Amino acid sequence: MITLNSLLIMPTIMSAEIKMIMVPEDAFKEIMSQSKMLLAINRKLETIVSKMAKPLSLKEAAVYLNVSYDHMIRTLKHEIPHTQRGKRITFDLKDLEAWRERNRKS
């Protein structure tokens, strides 16, 4: 049996208004634990996505495509769109993905 002492008031958002509901203390702790875990996962995903938005170096692109650095220089850099500033060559992740899809073997 749940007593009033073991219940906590928790705000909930339903559409545009906030309502207060009563939940058992152990359920509240579980909800808070799950919320913290989801926030941590969200932060990690944001970090990954922000890194993906950055261009990849020639070496990073080779690792991403699972090919050797030499093969990337000799062959693939001529097939995949890239940017070159001086000696620095970079690739966009979307271009690497597009190349991978075009060259996928069934």
One digit per residue, the tens of pLDDT, for the chain of length 106 reads: 444 444 555 555 555 566 677 778 888 888 888 888 988 888 888 777 777 678 999 999 999 898 999 999 888 888 999 999 998 999 998 899 889 888 887 6
pLDDT in tens, 13-39: 555 566 677 778 888 888 888 888 988
CB count in 10 Å sphere of residue 55: 15
Domain-by-domain residue ranges, the chain?
Answer: 4-53, 56-102
Q: Burial of 53 by CB count in 10 Å (0-12 exposed, 13-18 middle, 19+ buried)?
A: exposed
Which of these, 14, 29, 87, 22, lies nearest to 57 by C-alpha position? 87
The DSSP symbol for 28 reads H
Plot region of 66 (φ>0 → left; ψ -120 to 50 → alpha; else → beta): left
- Predicted TM-score (pTM) of this structure: 0.50
